[in-house]
Amino acid sequence: NNGLLHYQGRKDHQIKLHGQRIELGEIERCLLSTISISACVVMKWKDDYLVAYVQSSDISEQELRQHCQSHLPPHMIPSMFIILDKLPLNPNGKIDRKQLPSPDFSLSTLLSSDKSDTPLSQFEEHIHTIWCQVLHSNQNNISGTTSFFSVGGHSLLFIELYHHYQSVFNFDTHSLSIAPFLQQPTIFQHSQLLQTVIINNIKTTQWHTLHINEGIASFAQERIFLDEQVRFSSDIAIYNELSTLQVVQGSLSFNRLLQAFRYVLNKQKILRTSLLFNNDNSSLKQCITDIHKTFTITMNQTFENDNQLRDIIYQTTIDPNLFDLSTGHVFHAEILKYQIPFNENENNSNEFITNSDVLLIGFHHAAFDRASRSIFFNDLCLAYNTNTISIEDDDESLQYIDYSIHERLIDMSTSREFWCLQLEEYNLESRLSLPADRHRLPNDTRSSSASVTQVSFDNEISQSFLEYASVHHVTPFQLGLSVLYAFLFKLTHGDDDLCISCLNANRYKTELQNLIGMFISTLPYRAQLSSHWSFDDLVQHVREKCLSILEHSHYPLQHILANLHVNKSNISFLETMYDFITISSQTSELSFDGTSLKQVSFKQSSQVA
């Protein structure tokens, strides 16, 4: 504006990598400051890596990396060092960049180069230990420059890692958000980020119990309750969440199992919390009950074969009378006894749950989400294995009802502005122009079910998917979402303003990690695409979109819709949903004091709620 020109260097030697502006000449000057190097050149390779070509005869890659780590910030340290006896020159005597050898960026090469990396400091060793805890392994191939996503990490594990950091180093999301950790996913980079917390003496504001038994429902409970009462038919249940386990070895004591259930219901009060709608002020209230004291396990159904078992499970899944939110009956446990056909001498003792019998456990979705499953079964196994009879009420532990109050005290003004900008000028009633073979039914005549089609990828494609995610520093969730956007873009013949809904775990505080309850948020993910983008461009756009949303994922859907003054039944993005579910092989089997149970799985129905 004042007519002055500022010279910053050659444009072709100043690059942007993963959102960071980098002057390549600065890295080259750092390398040339070592006596052993006579010439070098640093280049950006395929928009994802920095590669340093070094002319030297007596220096190792480890020495070069160590030198750079001592003098440069983490985002400027080359991913690979290629040492040559002589760099190729052009006729003018300058380094011929086109003649430089291409680096090998296979996953195995990256991991092997990581192994020879700089030894970790004591602080970095601490972080390495946390990584191993989260990844459930003792991996020697994790070095300071290894990406979390190249050693088995995914988005849910990364959130767990972040919460570990919050717990150990005592900081909250406002002090240091998860975004920079995702953008810089190595131990060295995490070390630098966490040291800022220590240096600045940042402390978190922890949530504590409020010692209440009644209170307003959470935003997530409101959404589920209204969905069930208003949007869907009362003839078929849509929010019955079932876990079905079959005894494959040993036997369970009925009485010990009953005591274990009562222990968990006493500890996790949400599993005995009622929901009541107040017509006078149009509010939804929750109230903790004492029904755990009289809780019983149902045992009145038998089966002789898989078909009968499948039918019982299906009927239970859609049973609208399985739960009663108004009385706090949001949890159900039932034993399905296996009956051998034509065996009149069968022992029908109910004292033990024996081989092939099935344990059917149900939760109403208003009190339970996917992340709650492992918490519930950990508590149940512990109670059964230690033969815990009862516990005193722990009045000091945070409960779900406390969370419901705390979340309403959060200042959401910034998030409100964020979501208004996200959906600015978007036509919320404009549906995806997908190819269809029939006319769309009116809202009041449509069923509450959606179609499910399963597409399986072979090992080669799956491995390529994970390698791409690792190389481009994106989570599998983000890459899967990018694939879906590309698919929808082609299917709609070039619709470049796509908005669908995604699920977020929404356990944004460390204190929420061991709580059973409904925390999941449903949020709109809008992508404004360009037909000129490469797939890499799309992935980068989706990555940045997901990172920006992560900061505001606690903002409730009903507030987003209220701010836009729209009717929920007419919102197009709610009709297309994306979810990335990570299934661990460990979750399909459980052990109760030596008795093994395995998840019952049948081919999925073509329709789900």
CATH code where residue 188 lies: 1.10.1200.10
Residue 157, in any domain of the structure: yes
What pLDDT shows up at residue 542?
94
My answer on whether 469 and 382 are in the same domain is no
Q: What is the pLDDT of residues 253-307, one digit of tens each?
A: 999 999 999 999 999 999 999 999 988 888 999 999 999 999 999 999 999 999 9
Residue 114, in any domain of the structure: no
My answer on whether 333 and 395 are in the same domain is yes
**DSSP state, residue 40:** E
Residue 60 to residue 39: CA distance in whole angstroms? 15
Residue 92 to residue 89: CA distance in whole angstroms? 8
Amino acid letter, 159: I
Q: Write the CATH number for 24.
A: 3.30.300.30
Q: Write the CATH number for 398.
A: 3.30.559.10
Are 129 and 472 spatial neighbours (Cβ–Cβ below 8 Å)?
no
Residue 286, in any domain of the structure: yes
Residue 130 to residue 190: CA distance in whole angstroms? 11
My answer on whether 164 and 234 are in the same domain is no
My answer on whether 504 and 566 are in the same domain is yes
Are 144 and 186 spatial neighbours (Cβ–Cβ below 8 Å)?
yes
Query: Is pTM beyond 0.85 here?
Result: no
Which structural domain, as residue segments, surrounds residue 47? 11-88
What pLDDT shows up at residue 172?
75
Residue 325, Cα to own-chain centre: how many angstroms? 28
Q: What is the pLDDT of residues 7-57, one digit of tens each?
A: 765 555 677 776 567 888 889 989 998 878 889 999 888 766 788 999 998
What pLDDT shows up at residue 348?
58
My answer on whether 378 and 279 are in the same domain is yes
Q: How many CB atoms lie within 10 A of CB 579?
A: 14
Are 64 and 51 spatial neighbours (Cβ–Cβ below 8 Å)?
no
My answer on whether 44 and 137 are in the same domain is no
My answer on whether 185 and 302 are in the same domain is no
Extract the residue ranges of the chain whose pLDDT is less than 70.
1, 8-13, 18-20, 47-48, 74, 105-118, 139-141, 150, 152, 155, 200-204, 231-233, 342-349, 390-394, 443-451, 567-569, 584-588, 602-609
Residue 331, in any domain of the structure: yes
My answer on whether 570 and 596 are in the same domain is no
My answer on whether 174 and 273 are in the same domain is no
Q: Report, in this order, helix, strand and coil percent for the chain, each rounded to 5.
A: 40, 20, 40
My answer on whether 297 and 174 are in the same domain is no
- Total structural domains within the chain: 4
Mean pLDDT taken over the chain: 84
Residue 255, in any domain of the structure: yes
My answer on whether 332 and 427 are in the same domain is no
